[in-house]
Structure 1
Amino acid sequence: MGSDEEASSHERMQRYEQLAEQEREYRARKRTMLDDVSEELTGVVERAISMEGANAAVDSTSSDGRTQRIKATLDRAALVAAVSEQLPSGFAVKSINDDGTLSIEWSRRETSAEQRAMVILQAIVAEEIVTDADELIVEAPTRQQVIKRAVELGVEEDLAGERLQRLDDIGKVGIEEGQVFPG
């Protein structure tokens, strides 16, 4: 067959059908490949959850004392640290969202210690904020508490301090009178 411009309409439609079939095959292969990656990433998060476990505390007790409501929560900062250590090459935890979900991004490059530190620091700040019934902040961690917790999660102290300042500079957190608030 010659060039597509020299071919008859019938021949061009036959070629179109061939290309459409190839496109369907490629889309199916893409979906399968992405499903495999998704399965691997969820496996990383599941392993991190099983390693880090959950914190449990009494949330409330009935007035007669017979019923206690137990609240189980993940230590999000520890989870982020564990996940960021186990992700395949080229993947990084981009953020931890307000609803507790993790955004994991494929950036094609190796995760840097700085990038890992920043997402861990943000998770620590989010974890340590205490709000009242109106969602107003009533307690925030100190700069030193945030850095100490980051060190416990494997971030070097100098790097934690430097990255916390960087987060403040770019507006991701706010440091006021020694306390750290979400940005």
Structure 2
Amino acid sequence: MDEEPLHERMETYERLASDVAEATRERDETANEIGDRLAAAITEAVEREGANVVQSGQSKDGHRYRFTARLDRAALVAALTETLPNGFVVSHVNDDGTMSVEWTGSDRTPSKRERGAILKAIIAEEMEFDGDGLIESVPTRERVLARAVELGVEEDEAASRLSRLATLEVVDLADGHVYPDENFSRY
């Protein structure tokens, strides 16, 4: 058994607990500051890219009209590749506009990750769903590559990255179309 008096062990415990509490507070403050700076970068990109507004319905009497404003996710991701601080990349953008921004663990963002994020956003943007939320249609490979070129990605780089995403089971390339695969939401 340890011969150190118990009151000294308690003093050590209290000092360590205080150190942990201070480190936790500093960690949380740092995380909040990082989040605020990323939100500012995203806001800047959204302001630059704007939103698409489409008519989504009207009343039977024609007096009320309903509109839906939605972001062009692919254009937003392309803009964010230039706006986000080095080392950060968009990993996923959901239908409702929520998104995940991931730190790559490096002081710079690999261009492959940026191109992959843009391609995933294009695929997500081009997919159509039925009323039950099931995929109704997916984009063609040619449409994905053409949209990537519109967003500033070289065609050969887009094609290469699309093939790599298929190897990683992020997408499935079949019959000239691009389908989301099992890792689509995780990569």
Q: TM-score, normalised by structure 1?
A: 0.89
Query: Identity of counterpart residues, as a percentage?
Result: 44
Residue 131 of structure 1 corresponds to 129
In structure 2, do the counterparts of structure 1 residues 134 and 31 end up closer, same or farther at CA, with 3 Å as the change threshold?
A: closer
Kindly provide the amino acid, as one letter, of the partner of residue 23 in structure 1. Answer: V
- The answer for unaligned runs of 5 or more in structure 1 is none
Alpha-carbon shift at residue 134 of structure 1 (Å): 3.3
Please give the alpha-carbon distance, in whole angstroms, between the structure 2 residues aligned to 1:12 and 1:78: 58
Q: Secondary structure at the match of 1:77?
A: helix
Once the two structures are superposed, residues 98-133 of structure 1 have per-residue CA deviations (whole angstroms, 9 ceiling, x without a partner) of 553222111222212111111111110111112222
Q: Secondary structure at the match of 1:104?
A: strand
Structure 1, 107-116 or 30-39: larger mean CA deviation: 107-116
Kindly provide the amino acid, as one letter, of the partner of residue 180 in structure 2. Answer: P
Please give the alpha-carbon distance, in whole angstroms, between the structure 2 residues aligned to 1:75 and 1:98: 10
> How many pairs align?
179
Q: TM-score, normalised by structure 2?
A: 0.87
Residue 90 of structure 1 corresponds to 87
Kindly provide the amino acid, as one letter, of the partner of residue 126 in structure 1. Answer: A
Kindly provide the amino acid, as one letter, of the partner of residue 72 in structure 2. Answer: D
Residue 61 of structure 1 corresponds to 58
- The answer for unaligned runs of 5 or more in structure 2 is 182-187
Superposition CA RMSD, Å: 1.7
Alpha-carbon shift at residue 10 of structure 1 (Å): 1.7
- Is the Cα–Cα contact under 8 Å of residues 73 and 122 in structure 2 kept in the other structure? yes
In structure 2, do the counterparts of structure 1 residues 135 and 25 end up closer, same or farther at CA, with 3 Å as the change threshold?
A: closer
Please give the alpha-carbon distance, in whole angstroms, between the structure 2 residues aligned to 1:174 and 1:108: 27
Kindly provide the amino acid, as one letter, of the partner of residue 48 in structure 1. Answer: A
Instruction: Answer yes or no: is 1:46 the counterpart of 2:46.
Output: no
What is the aligned counterpart of 1:163 among 141, 161, 186? 161
Kindly provide the amino acid, as one letter, of the partner of residue 31 in structure 1. Answer: D
Residue 184 of structure 2 corresponds to none
Once the two structures are superposed, residues 75-119 of structure 1 have per-residue CA deviations (whole angstroms, 9 ceiling, x without a partner) of 011111112222222222222245532221112222121111111
- Is the Cα–Cα contact under 8 Å of residues 89 and 117 in structure 2 kept in the other structure? no
